[in-house]
Amino acid sequence: MTGFGDALRYLNDPLTWTRRGGVLELLGEHLAISAVAVLAAFVLAFPVGVALGSAGRGSGAVVVLSNVSRAVPTLALLTLFAVSPIGFGNRATTIALAVFAIPPILTNTFVGFRGVDADVREAARGMGMTRRQVIGRVELPLALPLVMTGVRTAAVQVVATAGLAALVGGGGLGRIVNLGFGQQDYGRIIAGAILIAALALLTELLLVLVTRLVTPGPRRGPLHRLRERTVAGQPEPTASGVPL
């Protein structure tokens, strides 16, 4: 294909990366928007997930939230925030992305904390731990793999969706693809697509590794988790699994 050669040439040009408005600047913008969005979503969703999951209440609401969020197109939400009084630009994009990052984090945190064995909780209480200590020292380590799954899903989702912001006047790496379409430049379109796809895959990979590092215990890596889940035949209890 003609376009792929052009894409390589485009990516191989140092000026493509370093000039003003080049790949590096857009990448920085992309990562900054994504990081703020995920962090904001985590700050909002994690405490709620802990509270609900630890008390074992509100599962109906969490399931509904996770299902409805799957049906809402990301493009629609990005556009709606862009035409709201916030005005289009990076602030609207960040808010829209944060809204989208909430369901995976909330659902997974909820499921993780709810899944803590009642006997373990009971034993911790019997040892004289306070409510706070039980959550921090007993429930959190046990729920951590699922919490991290939620964060990973949310982060990958946000990094992927941030590319769409360019369709409605936002910044980030999606600009390259959008500009390419505007100029009928196949090379640029493909180059932008490769960059966005690579960024999403790297985010996934990086967070899989982080999960492995922070998860206590030998058999609680994400890969073990995945295998167990697949064999058990349980459909994923999360809002994960929505490609963006």
What residues make contact with other proteins under the rule CB under 8 A? 1-4, 67-68, 70-77, 79-80, 82-83, 156, 159-161, 163-164, 167-169, 174, 177, 180-181, 186, 189-190, 192-194, 196-197, 200-201, 204, 230-231, 233, 235, 241-244
- Nearer to other proteins (CB atom), residue 50 or residue 237: 237
Distance CA 182, CA 166 (A): 12
Distance CA 109, CA 101 (A): 13
Distance CA 157, CA 103 (A): 11
Query: What sections of 129-185 are H helices per DSSP?
Result: 131-133, 140-162, 174-182
- Nearer to other proteins (CB atom), residue 116 or residue 164: 164
Supply the minimum distance, in Å, between the C-beta of residue 123 and other proteins: 33
- Nearer to other proteins (CB atom), residue 50 or residue 164: 164
Supply the minimum distance, in Å, between the C-beta of residue 148 and other proteins: 16
Token couple for 52: 């609900």
Supply the minimum distance, in Å, between the C-beta of residue 39 and other proteins: 20
Supply the minimum distance, in Å, between the C-beta of residue 81 and other proteins: 11
